[in-house]
Amino acid sequence: MRQDFCNLESKRIWESIAKDAQTIKAANGGSSLQPVISNNAAITTSADALTDIFVSKQEFIEVLRNKASSVDLKRTWPITSSMILIGASVGVITPAMPFVVEQMGLNASEYGLIVSAFGLARMLGNVPSAVAIEKWGRRPFMIHSLSLIALGVGGIGWASTFEELYLCRLMTGVGVSLLGGAATLMVTDISTPLNRASTMAPVMSGFTAGTALGPAMGGVMVDSIGLAPTFYLVGASYLGVAAVNRAVLSETQRRPMKFAWRKKPTEPVANADDTLSGAVQNAVGQWAPLLKQRSVQSIMVMNASYWLALAGAQMTIMPLILTDQAGLNLSATELGQVYMGMSLIQIVGNPVFAKFIDKIGKAPAIVTGCTLISLPMAAMPLCQDWMQLAGVCGLWACGSSMMSTAPLAYMSDKVAESERAQSIALLRTCGDMGFLVGASAIGALADWAGSLDHGMQTSAGLLLTATAWFGARQLIFVQPDTSRNPKGEKIDDNTKSP
């Protein structure tokens, strides 16, 4: 049975390689395949194992490189479709939150705490969610996490006090932690270092497309039907997305192959990792060796700084500035149009920037993206009209488009596949720590200084400083990255590259 299996698999693989190599040769105007493989030695396959096909070493490498560089659209589109619906649901509530703050009479510091509750829940949930997703698969959490999010978002319409609103945001954060971990690992499961950013781009573009449609709808809904009904409808929409995910998504987690000739153990072996608490302890224990790598240290600090600035500026101060009666005084519909415009730029930019990231490398893309965010962030308080606001938001959106895939792709490339789930959990946890500190601290700073402008420009200064540090560290410690070099045969060592 074992021999039959090997024979069938060998024949299938060689036929696939020969077909792809023949296609490449035809496209390049070449001749038929040459009967040579490896070290110029002619090798024929046995009649009962492989086929009578011969390929050269260069043809074999070219086929593999071509397969590893192309995006698996067949498995990507269901995830993308799901993220479009999720993004639309998220986008609908974006223009509503500043008016919730106004209705409850909250100040910038209290609103910062409400925003930071989301980051706190995600930070505490990252490790258990990563363990659970690795243990039970990606698909279940792409479905059931949405029920928790629906409860949290729908509850905002019911909340009438600071404490109730804070609890709803905590609930939403836990759900998003599960959903984000499952979606990220789904994408990394079906990608390689040569196409990771390009594979993530359609998924992020789908989410961005949803967030582009959502704010426009949300602004109109708030102005027409009111705040509470808007949140009730959005909560119900998450349940609809869960039903769609159940119908279209398939499991992407790779499991060990099972063969008929392998005997199962007669008695189960006790393992501490079989319990969730034991698995969490084991997962956290994996962080220590990861944090010894310079590459991991660099991206941890950079990601935390990015989310600190983003939570403080874009999620806390920006909506308050734009709806301030002493400033631009935007309505819910107009605020929705601003967020919609930024999202549309990201939709167009994500595929373009993804190819740019895969070509020049993830670290240069991170430096470029954060610079494009920090400069308009500092300039936003100076905007006096729509034209100035459009230019500032356009640059900001371009930087956000680059940062939507670059940090995850950078981290995924720097660690082994067995460490990928926990490395991504570690990356997200550092980001959530920045989110938690940024939203509460920048909001408190704005209240203390008596000016929203100070909070925005402080966020910009912190992000620009962290970007300069990350760029300098890359220049000082970096080793040549041969993973993108067609002639290279070795990817740089994680323990020696920043």
pLDDT in tens, 219-232: 888 888 888 898 89
Q: Do both 170 and 109 map to the same domain?
A: yes
Q: Do both 127 and 58 map to the same domain?
A: no
- Cα–Cα distances (Å) from 354 to 1, 197, 349, in that order, read 45, 5, 8
Assigned domain for 495 exists: no
Q: Do both 88 and 61 map to the same domain?
A: no
The count of residues in the chain is 498
Q: Indicate the residue among 27, 45, 67 that finishes a domain.
A: 67
Task: Look at residue 40 in the predicted model and tell me its pLDDT.
Answer: 42
The residue with greater pLDDT, 436 or 206, is: 436
Amino acid code (one letter) for 349: G
Q: Do both 17 and 104 map to the same domain?
A: no
Task: Look at residue 2 in the predicted model and tell me its pLDDT.
Answer: 52
Question: In this predicted model, what pLDDT tens digit does every residue of 61-86 receive, in sequence order?
Answer: 777 777 767 777 777 777 887 777 77
Assigned domain for 377 exists: yes
Residue 283 · residue 425 · CB < 8 Å:
yes
Q: Whole-prediction pTM value?
A: 0.65
Cα 402 from Cα 396, distance rounded (Å): 10
Assigned domain for 422 exists: yes
What is the residue range of 281's domain?
A: 70-254+276-484
On the question of pLDDT at 476 being above 70, the answer is: yes
Task: Look at residue 196 in the predicted model and tell me its pLDDT.
Answer: 73
On the question of pLDDT at 266 being above 70, the answer is: no
Among 470, 96, 458, 102, residue whose Cα is nearest residue 312: 458
Assigned domain for 492 exists: no
Average pLDDT, the chain: 78
Question: In this predicted model, what pLDDT tens digit does every residue of 84-142 receive, in sequence order?
Answer: 777 776 677 778 888 888 888 888 888 889 888 887 887 788 778 888 888 888 899 98
Q: Do both 124 and 74 map to the same domain?
A: yes
Query: Mean pLDDT throughout 259-283?
Result: 54
Q: Indicate the residue among 67, 97, 122 that finishes a domain.
A: 67
On the question of pLDDT at 493 being above 60, the answer is: no
- Cα–Cα distances (Å) from 142 to 78, 175, 254, in that order, read 11, 10, 17
DSSP state of 267: S
DSSP state of 101: H
CATH number, domain with residue 114 = 1.20.1250.20
Task: State how many domains the chain has.
Answer: 2
Cα 213 from Cα 429, distance rounded (Å): 29
Q: Do both 157 and 241 map to the same domain?
A: yes
Q: Do both 339 and 429 map to the same domain?
A: yes
Q: Do both 6 and 54 map to the same domain?
A: yes
Task: Look at residue 270 in the predicted model and tell me its pLDDT.
Answer: 43
Q: Indicate the residue among 67, 93, 110 that finishes a domain.
A: 67
Assigned domain for 340 exists: yes
Q: Do both 19 and 94 map to the same domain?
A: no
Cα 389 from Cα 282, distance rounded (Å): 48
Assigned domain for 493 exists: no
Task: Look at residue 479 in the predicted model and tell me its pLDDT.
Answer: 53
Orientation of helix 139-158 relative to helix 73-93, angle to 10°:
10
Assigned domain for 335 exists: yes
Most confidently modeled of 111-115, 177-181, 207-211, 250-254?
111-115
Task: Look at residue 74 in the predicted model and tell me its pLDDT.
Answer: 75
Q: Do both 89 and 56 map to the same domain?
A: no
Most confidently modeled of 407-416, 449-458, 477-486?
449-458
Q: Do both 55 and 97 map to the same domain?
A: no
Assigned domain for 160 exists: yes
- pLDDT band at residue 51 using 50, 70 and 90 as cut-offs: very low
> What percent of the chain stands above pLDDT 70?
77
Cα 156 from Cα 172, distance rounded (Å): 10
Cα 238 from Cα 229, distance rounded (Å): 15
Q: Do both 404 and 480 map to the same domain?
A: yes
On the question of pLDDT at 158 being above 80, the answer is: yes
